[in-house]
Structure 1
Amino acid sequence: MATITTPRKSVAVNPLKQSQPLGAALAFLGLKGIMPLFHGSQGCTAFAKVALVRHFREAIPLSTTAMTEVSTILGGEENVEQAILTLVEKSKPSIIGLCTTGLTETRGDDMAGILQNIRKRHPELHDLPIVFVSTPDFKGALQDGFAATVESIVKELPRSGETRPNQITLLVSPAFAPGDLQEIKEIVEAFGLTAIAVPDLSRSLDGHLDDSSSSVTSGGTTLAELREIGSSVYTLALGESMRSAAVALESQFGIPYEVIPSLSNLDAIDDFLEGLADLSGSPVPAKYRRQRAQLQDAMLDTHFFFGRKRVSLAMEPDLLWSTVHFLQSMGAEIQAAVTTTKSPLLEKLPVETVTIGDLEDFEQLAVGSDLLIGNSNVAAIARRLHLPLYRMGFPVFDRLGNGQRCTVGYRGMMQLLFDLGNLFLEQEEAHAKH
C-alpha cells in the first residue's frame, strides 16, 4: 500500500489543483441545453470560463450571480433570483446548474431555502430543473466538484420506470476526455446496448461546428435521457470518483453497478469487453479482437523503450490511477506521483509514496526522471529539468485536439503507447547523438 504524504506548507507554490466550481462547470457542460450558474463574484466565473475556453477552444456558456461587497454582506438571494430570471428570459435553458463558490460558502447562504423562496414567488419556474451543488473552492479539487455535481444530477433528475433490458448508464469521471467517452460509447453500442452517459462531453465539447448559435450547450445528455436513467438495467461507473453517484442510483432505483477505475491497460479493457458480452448476451465483435491483436503487436514494438524508465506524474486521482497502471504494465517505474485531493484509490496505488501537493513538490520529486506527465502548467518544470513532457489532464492549453484525444480501449491505448514511445525514442536518439 502506498504511503500518503501531504507537505505542511503555509501556501501552495505553483498550484497543481483546479477548483471545485470549475469541476462542477465541466460536469454541467455535458448536459444539453444547460446554463451553469456560479453563485459568487464575477471573477470566479471569469477564471473558470477562461480555463475551459483555453483547454477546449470552444465557446463555453457560463453565468454568474455577480456578487458584490454589499450583496455578500447583506445576502445573495436577490442576486440568485435575478440571475435565474434573466437566464430564463434571454437564454431559455432546459436546465440550470447552480453551484456555489468560496465567497458564498464562507458566508453560509441557505441555498435550499433561497431556491424554495424563488420558486414560491415565481410559479413559472415550476417546470424548470435547477440542479444545485455545493462546491466550495477553498477545499477539494476539480475531481471533487465534478463528482458532487454528477451525484446531484442523478439524485434530482431521473424518474422511475419500467426496466429497459438493453439500456445502461455510464457515469463518467473527469479522467475521461470527450474522445475517450466517444470510444467507450461505440464499444458499448457494438454489443447492442444503449448507453446514457452522464455527463456526455462527447456530444458537447468534442469540437464540432453547429448549424446555429446558442447561448446554452447544444449537445450532451438531454433532459429526457436524464429522466430515463431510472429505467436502466445496469450502471457502469467510469472512475472511482463516480462510486457515490452509482450508489445513489442503486439506493433510489435498485440498479446494480460496477466501478471501472481504468480502461487504459490490456487486462482492464479485456474485463470491460467480457462484462459487456455477459450483460448483452452477445459475443465480442470481430473488430475488437482485431484491435486487440494490433495492440499486442504495439506493446511488443514499444516495450523496449518503456522498460525501467522513470516517470513522474502530476494529475487528479482517477487519472493518476489509470496512468500508473498503464505505465507499470509496460515495465516503466513510477518515480513520483503527485495528486490534488484525497481518494480511496491512493492507498491502493502500487507505488511507495503518493503526495497530495503542488507543482513545487512535484519539481523536487521529479529530478532524475526520464519523462514527466501532467497538464500544461508542468511545461515550465520540464524545461528547467531538461526533460520531455507528455501533456495529460486539465488544463492543456498549448496543444490542439483535447476534445478528440482518446487514450482508452484498444485503439486509445495503442495511440498512447506510440505517443509516449516516440518521446522515449527521441530521448534515446538525442543521447546517442550527443
Structure 2
Amino acid sequence: MATVVVPNKPVVVNPLKQSQTLGAALAFLGLKGMMPLLHGSQGCTAFAKVILVRHFREAIPLSTTAMTEVTTILGGEENVEEAILTLVQKSQPEIIGLCTTGLTETRGDDMEGILKDFRKRHPELDELPIILVSSPDFKGALQDGFAAAVESTVKEIPLPGEKKTQQITILMSSAFAPGDVQQVKEIVTAFGFTPIIVPDLSASLDGHLDDSYSPITGGGTTLVQLHKVGSSVFTLALGESMRNAAKILQHRFGTPFEVFTELTGLEPTDRFLQFLAELSGSSVPEKYRRQRRQLQDAMLDTHFYFGRKRVSLALEPDLLWSTVCFLQSMGAEIQAAVTTTRSPLLEKLPIDKVTIGDLEDFEQLAAGSDLLIGNSHIAAIAKRLGIPLYRQGIPIFDRLGNGQFTKVGYKGTIQMLFDIGNLFLEAEEASIKDTNIYGDW
C-alpha cells in the first residue's frame, strides 16, 4: 500500500497537471459530429486548442462563449445562447459538448437553468443534444474532466432498447491514446463482438486525411451508436476512472460491467483476452496466441536492461498505475511517482509513496534515476538531470506519431518494451563510449 503525499506548498511551481476543461474537451472529440463549447473566456479555449493541436498535429474543433469582463460580472446566459445559435448556423453540429471553466464556475453560473431556459426559447432545437459537463480548472485534472464528460454522455444520450447479444460497450479512459483504442477495437471484434467505444478517439484523432474539411469532428462514436448503448449486454470499463460511468449504465439499463485498470503487460493482456473468451464462448484467436509468444520472446530479450533500473514517473493516475505495474513486472524499481489528482488506485500502488504534486517536486524526487517517464514538459528536467526521457501522456509536442502510438495488448507491450529497452541500451553505450574495451592492439 502506497502512502499518498500532498506537499504543503503555497504555490504550484512548474505545473504538471492539465485542466479538467481540457480533459472534457478531449473526451468530446471522440464523438462524431461534435463541437466542444467552452463556457469561458477566449483565452481558455485558445490555450486548450494549442495544447491539443501541438499534441495530435490535427485540426481541433473547439468553440467558446467568449466571456468578457462585463458578461462575467452580469452573467453569461446570453453568451451561451448566442454561441449555440452561431454554431448551429455555421457549423451544424450533431452534438454540442458544453464545458464549464474556472471563470464561470467561480462566478457560479446556473448552467442547468441556462440550458433549460434556452430549450424553452428555442423549441426548434429540441432534437440537438447538448451535453453539459462541470469541469472547473481550479480543481481536479485532465483525467477528472475526461471522466466527467463520459459520465455526462452516458447519463443523457443512450436510450433503452432490446438487448443485442453480441453488442458490448467499451468505456475508454484518458490513459488510452487513439492507437490504443484502435488496438482494443480490433481485439474485441476478433471475438465476434460488435463494440461501441465511448469515446472513440481512434476514429477522430488517429491522424488521417478526410475527403473534405469539416468544422466539427469527422469521426468518433456516432449519435446512433450512443443511442444504442442501452442495448449492450455488457460494459467494459478500461481505466479506474471509467468505473462511475459504468455504474451509471448499470443503474439505467441493468448492464453488468467489468473494470480493467491496465492492458499493458503479459498478465493484464492475458486476463483481458481470457475474459473476452469466456464472455463470447469462443477461444482466443491464433493471431493473439502468436503475438503472446512474440511478447514472451521480447521480454527475454529485454529483461537484462530493465532489471534493477530506477525509474521516476509523472503521469495521470490511470496511466501511472498501468505503467508502474508494467515496469515492475520487468524487474524495474520505481524511485519516484508523481501524479496530478486523487484516485482510488493511488493507495493500491505497489510502491512506498506517491506524490500529488508538480514538476518541481518531481525534479527533486527523480534525481539519480535511470529513466524518466512523462510528457514533453519533463524534457527540460531530463536535460538538467542528464537522464533519458520516455514520453507518455499529454502533451507530447516534440515527437511525431502520437495519434498512432499504442501501448496495449501484446503488440503494444512489445513496442513499449523495445522503445524503453533501447533507451536503457543507449544509456549504457553512452556510459562506456570513452572506454577502450579492446585494450591496446
Q: Which range, TM-score by smaller chain?
A: over 0.9
Tell me, what secondary structure is at the counterpart of 1:433?
Answer: coil
Identity %: 76
Please give the alpha-carbon distance, in whole angstroms, between the structure 2 residues aligned to 1:431 and 1:106: 52
- Counterpart in 2 of 1:157? 157
Equivalent position amino acid for 2:289 in 1: R
1:24-423 to 2 correspondences below 5 Å = 24-423=24-423
Please give the alpha-carbon distance, in whole angstroms, between the structure 1 residues aligned to 2:77 and 2:430: 61
Equivalent position amino acid for 1:205 in 2: L
Q: Could you tell me how far 1:33 is from its partner in structure 2?
A: 0.2
Q: Could you tell me how far 1:282 is from its partner in structure 2?
A: 1.1
Describe the superposition over 1:148-182 as per-residue Cα deviations: whole angstroms up to 9, x where unpaired: 00000000000000000100001000100000010
Describe the superposition over 1:197-229 as per-residue Cα deviations: whole angstroms up to 9, x where unpaired: 000000000000000110000000000000000
Q: Could you tell me how far 1:110 is from its partner in structure 2?
A: 0.5
Q: Could you tell me how far 1:124 is from its partner in structure 2?
A: 1.1
Please give the alpha-carbon distance, in whole angstroms, between the structure 2 residues aligned to 1:210 and 1:50: 21
Please give the alpha-carbon distance, in whole angstroms, between the structure 1 residues aligned to 2:40 and 2:84: 14
Equivalent position amino acid for 1:430 in 2: A
Please give the alpha-carbon distance, in whole angstroms, between the structure 2 residues aligned to 1:70 and 1:193: 53
- Counterpart in 1 of 2:438? none
Q: Could you tell me how far 1:391 is from its partner in structure 2?
A: 0.5
Q: Could you tell me how far 1:373 is from its partner in structure 2?
A: 0.3
Please give the alpha-carbon distance, in whole angstroms, between the structure 2 residues aligned to 1:96 and 1:181: 23
Tell me, what secondary structure is at the counterpart of 2:282?
Answer: coil
Q: Could you tell me how far 1:432 is from its partner in structure 2?
A: 1.8
Tell me, what secondary structure is at the counterpart of 1:350?
Answer: coil
Q: Could you tell me how far 1:412 is from its partner in structure 2?
A: 0.3
- Counterpart in 1 of 2:21? 21
Tell me, what secondary structure is at the counterpart of 1:215?
Answer: coil
Equivalent position amino acid for 2:405 in 1: R
Structure 1: segments with no counterpart, 5+ residues: none
Structure 2: segments with no counterpart, 5+ residues: 435-441
Tell me, what secondary structure is at the counterpart of 2:205?
Answer: coil
Equivalent position amino acid for 1:68 in 2: T
Q: Could you tell me how far 1:431 is from its partner in structure 2?
A: 1.1
Tell me, what secondary structure is at the counterpart of 1:406?
Answer: coil
Q: Could you tell me how far 1:433 is from its partner in structure 2?
A: 1.8
Tell me, what secondary structure is at the counterpart of 2:176?
Answer: coil
Please give the alpha-carbon distance, in whole angstroms, between the structure 2 residues aligned to 1:116 and 1:25: 22
Equivalent position amino acid for 1:246 in 2: A
Q: CA RMSD in A?
A: 0.4
Q: Does 1:4 align with 2:26?
A: no
Please give the alpha-carbon distance, in whole angstroms, between the structure 2 residues aligned to 1:58 and 1:124: 33
Tell me, what secondary structure is at the counterpart of 2:432?
Answer: helix
Describe the superposition over 1:265-301 as per-residue Cα deviations: whole angstroms up to 9, x where unpaired: 1111001001111111111000100000000000000
